[in-house]
Structures are given as structure tokens and as C-alpha cells.
Structure 1
Amino acid sequence: MDGPASARRLDHFLIGALVALCFICSLVPTTFQMGELGPEAGHQIAEGSLLRQIQFGTIFLTAGWLAYRHPAEALGIFRRMNPFLILLLIYCAASIAWSPAPNVTIKRVILLGGLLLTGIVISPPIARPRQFSHALLGTLSALVVVSAFVAVALPHIGVDLFLDGAWRGIMWQKNLLGAVAGLCVMLWLRECMERRLPLGRTVAATLFSLFVLFMSKSTTSMVVTAVGIAIYLALRQRWVRDSHAGLIASLVGLSLLLALTYVFYIATGRLPTWQDVIAPIATLLNKSPDLTGRTEIWRLVLVAAREHLTFGIGYGAFWIGEGGPAQFIADEFGWMPSHGHNGYIDLLNEIGIVGLALFIGLLLWHMVSLFLLMRVDRDEAALHLSILVLMVISNFSESQFLRDVSLQNMVLIFSSITVSARLQFARRGT
């Protein structure tokens, strides 16, 4: 009896360690040179960083060993996972054939496949039903605490003096710390609502995460966190428990959007442009209407995308640093961006209309799965759905979808696989 119990404890320990290591290795630089932004921070895998390959190679090998120990469970999860994840992996692998940098595309495909494998072994029944979200909370909370300590004790490392003293802690930059702190706020808020832990402790952790989010001075993270909290608090209420809640919410939102568009057309005689939409939001956030130059980057990326609109240039093959396909953008600006600051435009450029359609299918399938999960675990479904909305919104100004081992890419993949596994786990009544 003790043998199987000890084996299960070892499995659960390794699953928690896999989640922790995935996010630590992704979020924390391999050196303490926190000022390394752009290609230095964003293209380590493309350039063949040996340390990063060892880190994630070890993670993926451990995931493979766990799958080998639980072959029936792993195969069952694979069969019932979001089919668009598998189709995207196949399509991205096919893009090696036309990629201008096939070695880079191969590395990205291996990373994507490794993340899918890791997602399988951290899902039930191999893992406990909520083990992923609990391990994520513990990992991100530890990173926020350490970042706050570094910002206070070692400001030459943890504070960006060129950005009005914004905290970045042990992350690459302030926006990343803001995103991590924002996720912590939502995860700790869930703990406050569920009352599984002492209320004083969870409230203190939530307020501390909010403080670090504020100190990061990442307005994007603040806004999307506020939206995510509002969605979570609304969705966990019983009045949205009905299975048609998602359809009703979508129809209401679409109706409001059409009504606002019609009112704008009547008042101005034209349809709204991007500047009309973003200007009031940018003013509220004390930003320029062009999102600090992002729209010019978008324009140039779209110019490149038109040359290979259907199938894309190749997965991960555009933003590969100096001398790559994005060189003309660096020549235009005098510096090399690490991505296009818009996840949807970057996907269109790299994997084309076909790949973007598959990705949209992934998002829709995941959303439907979350509404189905409402019947089983409303609170968990509300948390995952609010995080999904947060990612969908933030990728209009950032680019993290299908982007290597970025924070949001890993959260999306792991969330999609674990939610599908939870549904199957519930149907079996185990």
C-alpha cells in the first residue's frame, strides 16, 4: 500500500516542480543583466542558448518520463484535448518546409510540442484536479515576493531608473512583472472567495500583489487585471450558471458593439477607425493614441505579411534578430523590436490566414470547454475564462500567443489541456 502511495506523492511532487520550473525558467533571465531587452532578451532560443535548451530539455524529458509511467491516462488526455492545439502543432511543423530559417522553426516546433506534452502530464487524472492552478499560484507568488525584495534591496537590478523608477524585480522588464503580479492578484482573489485558506492571509497576499502591480507601473497590466477581476466576479455568480450564459453574453456584447457603431456612423457619417477606438482609452492611460509607436510597427509587419498572406513566412521565422526577415523594420526604426507588439498580426505574418484561423478555433474551443466546465466547477471555470479574456485583450498591444515559452503562451496551452482533462475526468465520475 505504501508503494503506490509513495509513487503518487512522487508524481504530484514532479508535476508541481514541472509547473514551477516552466514559469521560473521562462520569466527569470539566465543572467542578472536585467537591461538586456529586445533581441538579447527575446531571441535566446533562436540563437541557441545552451542553458535555456538544457532547462527546457530537462523539463520535457521529465514530462516524457511521467507520460511513460501513465501511458493510458496520457493517451486519454491526448485524445480529448483541444484538437486545434494538435492541428496547430502539425501546421507549424509543416511550415518548416517554406520557412526562411528552418532551424529556428524546428526549435520552436520542438518547444511547442514539449509544452503540449507537459500540459498533458500536469492534467487530471495524472495530476490532482486543481494542481495546475495551485502550483501556478505558488510559483508566481514566490517570484513576486523575490522581485519586491530585489527592487527594494538591490534597486540597481530590480528598478528601471529610465522608466520613472518602475519595478521589474528579477523579470526581464516591468511589463512582465506587471503581468505576473496581475495574475497573482486574480489567483489570490479566488482564494479569498473560496475561503480554503485563512482569510487574513489571502487578503494580505492579494493586497501585496496589487502593490507590486502598481509599482511595476505597467498600465496595460493594470487595465487587463481590472477587466479580468470584473469578469471573474461576474462569472462565478449563480445567475450565469445556465449553459446558455456564454451565448447570451456574446449576443449582448455583439448587440452593444453594433449599436455603438451605428450611433457613431449616424453622428459622423463614417465608420470608426482604430484611432477613434483607441484615443479615449489611450487618453485615460496617459498614452499616445498610436500606443507609443506600436501602430507603426503593425503597419510594417502587415506589409511583410501581405507577401505570404495565406500560409505565413514560417513559424517563429520572422523576429530572429539582425539580418533576418525583420531587418527592414530595424532599418526603419534604428533598433530591432523583439516582436510586433500585436499577437494577432504576428500570427498572421508567421503562420498566415490558415494558421490564424486554426488559432481562433483553439480560442473558441477553449471558451466552449470553459462554459461546459461551469457545470462541474464554476469557480475554476470562471478563473480560467477571466484569464483567457485577459490574454485576448492584452495581445492587441503585446505578442505572446504561440510565442515560445512566454508567460501567456504557456498559461493558454496548460489551461486548455487541463480544462479538457477536467471535463473528461468529470464525465467518468471519478
Structure 2
Amino acid sequence: MAVHSRHPVSAPPTAPARETTGHLLLRAWCVFVIAASMAGTSWLMAFGAIGSAVVVVATGVVSAVLWVSIRPRVQWRRLPWFALAYVAWAVASLLWSNWLGATELTLLLLVSTTLQAMFVGAVFTWREILRAVASALKWMLALSLLFELWVALIWRGDILPGFVRPDASYDGHPITLWSRDNLFTGGRLQGIFGNANPLAYIALLAIIVFVIRLASGAPRKLLLVLWTALAAFLFWRAASATALLCAVAVAVVLITILLMRTARRPGERTRFYVMYVIVAGLGGAAVWFARDTVFDLLGRSPDLTGRQRIWDAVGERIGERPFLGWGYSTPWVPSDPAFDGWIVDHGVSVMQAHNMWLDVALQLGFVGVVLIALALLAFVWRSWFFAVDRPRWDLVADRPYTALTLLPSLVATILLVQGLAESAPLLNWGWFLIILFAFKIKQAPLVGRGPAEQRLDAEQGDLLAEGNGDDRRP
């Protein structure tokens, strides 16, 4: 016989779980750290060398204090050891550096970037990292657009670093300008970076991150679509030939990964790998043998806008110290006598070799090249299988893929292609993301699984904020 009762049998209602104020502040700080690494030359343009140094030191100290106070769980045996060995070799170059002052200054940036990337990876889950990177990219895009609007509507004219207006007698090359006031004239936009190429790379990275967020079931999809459209607009207006090649490479890698994910038997992947090698080889050969035509279509010279002259000069210097190099300095410090006037482009001392491998060979010799090659190989290897392998931690072998796992491989693609014409992967956001993803993949090779990921999920409310929408989509 049924018994009626006034007492409810269900659990009493409770307030929804919310993130603590402390974690919200931590997230805001990590977004600032990521954005600061992406800003790169923007700090120099706005505040000069001293202001930039203050930002590097201050952010490093605050992150170190937070790391000590929070004490996130870290598996110390599972660190990106090859990348850390490269950093250690760069520090060791203090013993033989030919430009000691530049080495000391740039090592501060390298060590700070490395530690802060590991800090973000230690206190955030994979989903939190994706959200934080997306937030930082939104700041970069919004500030770049607002800056160009301010220059066009209020400043009305060219602007030099430090918010200086060039006078009528200024005869410097446009490369020295922070902004050329091109928003409404159809010219290339430079954003807050003072250079169109970094803006293009940031815009390309933003497109990738925003699309992954959309595929992961993130909330406020319409806003994400608008942010993606803004990123595409800035990518188009930056008009960077190298960034366009990066975009093509990203598309090829993405298609390959998606094909790999359709494989049901081990032998199927072998065919895809063979096809990928053939297509990549033929594509690379076609670009090389038809480089004059390709670069004419891109509006660039076959030597990538004078880079051949820089490579020749760097190659000569490498031949003098091939094993140990001349000492770490990424970027080159133009105020140092060793770099001041060594290679001049449009009246400005060049600050990089415009090739990642040549830059490492110049600074750290053959040993440095081997270490950075091993670091990148390990990063690419783990990123690739992080993307193509199904998440599996028990006997269930048919769990759906997650869109988030595409991010490290696509970022690696951008950096490897960019590294052929720029040294940017060795510093700022390039090195930050290499360390961040290499560290996180080793600490948490499965999204949302493992003691650290699940503990952070519970603390941060990830499972509540976005659910496991990322796990429901292939």
C-alpha cells in the first residue's frame, strides 16, 4: 500500500556550483600572461625597451609567486625535457657569448616565457587553456582594430613608436612606423604590432582557435562567428605571404588528420601517410621549382623580400663558430655593438636571421640546432598522435574524438612553416605555445582524464560551464 508523506524524497535543492573568486582572478591573470606573450613587439612600440623589460620581470615574478602559493600538482618526471635542454644550453652560452649583455637580457625573456607557459599548463585544464588562448586572441584582435581606428579617425596620419608624430622632414622608411594609417586606404594593416606579419599570424591562430571552440560546443556561438569574421578580415588586410603559406599548410594538415580519424584498421593509416608524403613532396617541389611564379602571384620577390642577403651574412658568421655558436640572443639586440649596423635593412638594424634554424645555428651552434630539432620533433610527434588517436583509457575503443586535440598539431604547423622565413617561433607566443602544449600533453595526454585534469575540472567548474560538449562531438 502506498504511503503518502509530506517529506520530499529527492535531494534538497542546492545552488549551482560556481567558480571561486580566486580562480576567476587566476584565469584573468593567465589570460593576461598569454596576451602579453602574443603582444610581442607591441610593448616595445608603446613603452620602449625599459617598459617592456618591466613587463617581463613583473609578470614573471607574479607568476612565480602564484605558482609557489597555489602549488599545482606537477609530474616532474614528465616535463618537455628536450625543450628545457635547449633553454639550459642557451643559459650555458653565457660562458662563451660574444655579446654577453644581449645574452643576459634575452635569456631573461626566454626563461620567463618558459616558466610562465609551464605555470599556465599546470594550473589549467585543456578546456581552460583553449578558453584562455581564445580570450587572449580576442584582446589582440580588438586592440589592433581599435588602434587602427584611433590612428585613422583621431590621430590622422602616420605614427612612430612611443606615440610620436613624424614631422614633415622625416625621411625614414615606412618600416619604422608603428602604423601607416592604412585602415581606410586599402594598404596593409599592422595592428598594435607595428608589423603586418605578426598581425597575420595572430589572426590565423585566432581563426583556428575560434573554429575549434565552435566545434567544441562553446556558448555564444554568434559572437564567436563574429570574432572569426574579424580575424579573417585582419588576416586579409595584413596580406602576409608567409602567413598565407602557413594557412595552406594548416589546411593540408587538418585534412590529413581528419582522414586519419576515419581509419578503422591499422593498414588504412599507412595508405594515408603515403598519400600525405606524396602530396607534400610534390607540393613542396612545385613551389620550389615555380617559386618565381608563386611569389609573383603573392606579390613578393623570390628571395622573400631580401631575406637571401640576410641568410648569406648569417651563414658566413655561422661558419666561423659552427659547434658552439656566438652566444644566445633571441631577438638580436640592435643596441649591442655586435648587431648595431651588422645587417641593415631599409636603414634599420635587423633583429633576427629570418630563419629559425639559421638563428639557432648562429647563436648556439650545431649543439643548439640538434636540441631545438629534438624539442620540435618531440612536440610534433606527441601533438600528432594526440590529434589522430582516439581517447582511450580502458577497453572501450570507440570513444568520439574531440576537436580540442587538433590545436597543438595546427599550432605546430604554423610555427614550422613560419620558422622558414621568421625566427618568431623561438620567442614570445611561438615559444610560449610550444612549451605550453608540450608540457600539457606530457602531463595530461587525455582531455579531462587523469588525476590532475579531473581535480582541476572540479575546482574550476569546467564540467559545468561548458559541460562535456567537447566530448560529444567528433
- TM class by smaller structure: 0.7 to 0.9
- Quote the offset at 1:286 in angstroms: 2.3
Match of 1:239 among 235, 238, 262: 262
Distance 1:291 1:82, change over 3 A: same
For residues 188-213 of structure 1, give each alpha carbon's deviation from its aligned partner in whole angstroms, at most 9, with x where no partner exists.
12123223234433222212211111
Whether the 8 Å CA contact 1:224–1:393 is kept in 2: the answer is: yes
Whether the 8 Å CA contact 1:186–1:229 is kept in 2: the answer is: no
Whether the 8 Å CA contact 2:151–2:181 is kept in 1: the answer is: no
Map 1:28-39; keep pairs closer than 5 Å. Answer: 28-32=42-46
Deviates more, 1:312-321 or 1:131-140: 312-321
The structure with more radius of gyration: 2
Does residue 311 of structure 1 match 2:324?
yes
Does residue 370 of structure 1 match 2:383?
yes
- AA aligned to 2:316 is V
Distance 1:359 1:307, change over 3 A: same
Q: Distance in 1 between matches of 2:208 and 2:55?
A: 28
- AA aligned to 1:131 is E
Whether the 8 Å CA contact 1:60–1:114 is kept in 2: the answer is: yes
Distance 1:334 1:169, change over 3 A: closer
Map 1:16-27; keep pairs closer than 5 Å. Answer: 16-24=31-39, 26-27=40-41
- Quote the offset at 1:400 in angstroms: 1.2
Distance 1:361 1:5, change over 3 A: same
Does residue 358 of structure 1 match 2:371?
yes
2:449 aligned residue: 426
Whether the 8 Å CA contact 2:323–2:367 is kept in 1: the answer is: yes
- Quote the offset at 1:315 in angstroms: 0.8
Match of 1:214 among 236, 239, 261: 236
Whether the 8 Å CA contact 1:318–1:350 is kept in 2: the answer is: no
- Quote the offset at 1:316 in angstroms: 0.6
Deviates more, 1:152-161 or 1:367-376: 152-161
For residues 81-101 of structure 1, give each alpha carbon's deviation from its aligned partner in whole angstroms, at most 9, with x where no partner exists.
211111111111111111012
Whether the 8 Å CA contact 1:122–1:131 is kept in 2: the answer is: no
Q: Distance in 1 between matches of 2:270 and 2:380?
A: 11
Map 1:4-403; keep pairs closer than 5 Å. Answer: 5-24=20-39, 26-32=40-46, 49-71=49-71, 73-74=73-74, 76=75, 78-124=76-122, 126-155=123-152, 156=157, 157=159, 159-160=179-180, 165-232=187-254, 234-236=256-258, 238-239=261-262, 251-255=274-278, 276=289, 278-316=291-329, 319-321=332-334, 324-326=337-339, 329-330=342-343, 335-374=348-387, 375-376=390-391, 378-403=402-427
1:41 aligned residue: none
Name structure 1 gaps, 5 residues minimum: 34-43, 265-271
Whether the 8 Å CA contact 1:347–1:355 is kept in 2: the answer is: yes
For residues 111-140 of structure 1, give each alpha carbon's deviation from its aligned partner in whole angstroms, at most 9, with x where no partner exists.
22222221222114x223222232121122
- Quote the offset at 1:332 in angstroms: 9.2
1:267 aligned residue: none
Name structure 2 gaps, 5 residues minimum: 1-16, 160-177, 392-400, 455-474
- Helix, strand or coil at the partner of 1:73: coil
1:268 aligned residue: none
Whether the 8 Å CA contact 2:292–2:302 is kept in 1: the answer is: yes
1:37 aligned residue: none
1:38 aligned residue: none
Q: How many residues align?
A: 399
Q: Distance in 1 between matches of 2:214 and 2:345?
A: 49
Whether the 8 Å CA contact 2:330–2:426 is kept in 1: the answer is: no
For residues 278-308 of structure 1, give each alpha carbon's deviation from its aligned partner in whole angstroms, at most 9, with x where no partner exists.
3343133122111121111111110111111
For residues 363-386 of structure 1, give each alpha carbon's deviation from its aligned partner in whole angstroms, at most 9, with x where no partner exists.
111122213423346422212201
Whether the 8 Å CA contact 1:371–1:381 is kept in 2: the answer is: no
Q: Distance in 2 between matches of 1:108 and 1:338?
A: 12
Distance 1:191 1:275, change over 3 A: closer
Distance 1:327 1:111, change over 3 A: closer
- Helix, strand or coil at the partner of 1:211: helix
Distance 1:244 1:138, change over 3 A: farther
Q: Distance in 2 between matches of 1:298 and 1:213?
A: 27
- AA aligned to 2:73 is E
Whether the 8 Å CA contact 1:82–1:420 is kept in 2: the answer is: yes
- AA aligned to 1:421 is Q
- Quote the offset at 1:317 in angstroms: 7.4
- Helix, strand or coil at the partner of 1:314: coil
For residues 1-20 of structure 1, give each alpha carbon's deviation from its aligned partner in whole angstroms, at most 9, with x where no partner exists.
x9995544443443333323
The two structures, once aligned, show a CA RMSD in angstroms of 3.4
- AA aligned to 2:187 is G
- Quote the offset at 1:252 in angstroms: 4.2
- Quote the offset at 1:242 in angstroms: 7.9
- AA aligned to 2:262 is W
Deviates more, 1:274-283 or 1:410-419: 274-283
TM-score, structure 2 as length reference: 0.74
Whether the 8 Å CA contact 1:305–1:312 is kept in 2: the answer is: yes
